[in-house]
Amino acid sequence: MKKYNVAIAGASGAVGNTMLQILEERNFPVNNLLLLASKRSVGKELTFNNKSYKIEELKHDSFKGVDIALFSAGGSISKEFAPSAAKNGCVVIDNSSAFRMDEDVPLVVPEVNPDDTFKHKGIIANPNCTTIIMVVALKPLHDYSKIKRVVVSSYQSSSGAGAKGMGELEDQAKAWASNTEIKKQHFQHQLLFNLIPHIDVFTDNGYTKEEMKMYYETRKIMGDESIKVTATCVRVPVFTAHSEAVTIETEKVITPEKAKELLKNAPGITVSDDAANNVYPMPLMAAGKDDCYVGRIRKDVSCDNGLNFFISGDQLRKGAALNAVQIAELLITKM
């Protein structure tokens, strides 16, 4: 089997670490592995396939001889270094928002639009985590009956804000348990015992950037600019895995029974829907798993062609690192 030289830019972060873990879990054919990050992480060691690797400083000339680079170092870093990597003949799979809406950059979820992978010009964008988790479930339904409108409310875990976000929730829980002051630093308000309907910055139309990402990215990934999407994104006091309450309106009726059949046969989906036994998707169920869990599937009683369902998915895995590795797996089928 042919092997490939792989780099991870942002290897010291939560997503970068998960990318490394998933490359190992899925036996990706790695020849040489290069771990890159900022100066403050240089020299730290990470393990891959029982071998220790030291993190090196990310530079413009880091990508000579690299076949595939997985980027998860933030938008500004991607904008600076991804073009340099592409110029060196490396294919960049970027987890930031830097290139997602660039017309020349495919935005890929392998279960939804795998063929777009091969339209790249050196850079492929990984979508936003909330978008990925949703469109995996939308795809089989849209293929059966065109989706006209999506209304989604997300319930996004603290780790969606990185290791610092998860750490803040943990610190707040410890402070509450010890009856000491609960401090906030990374979130706008106390997250413990609270919900914050504010992720990313607000835009002029009253939506946040996170919400507008779901609008624009869903249409691009699904290849249908006519789909209407409205989102409300909420931070919740959960460590790992995002959840979403989704309502869709379709051209023709999709019964709950038909929806379950379609979703059960779809890649990347586990149907968890048995209300009589209190079985439905939850973050604890999805954390650490590759599939997105879908349940609470029911007819929308307010709309003739409406369907409601609930999704939970691990945003560090399918929402970020796993999706990137799956794109890499597609790439090497034609490299």
Positions annotated as catalytic residues are 129, 242
Number of helices followed by number of strands (H, E) in the chain: 8, 14
- Residue among 79, 117, 82 nearest 98 (CA): 79
Backbone angles phi, psi at 76, to 5 degrees: -65, -40
Judge residue 185's burial from the number of C-beta atoms within 10 Å of its C-beta, 0-12 exposed, 13-18 middle, 19 or more buried.
exposed
Identify the sign of the CA torsion 315, 318, 319, 320: positive
Q: How many residues does the chain have?
A: 335
Pairing of strands 242-250, 228-235: unpaired
Task: Give me the sheet containing 68-71, strands edge to edge.
Answer: 56-57, 30-37, 4-9, 68-71, 91-94, 123-125
Closest by Cα among 157, 128, 94 to 288: 157
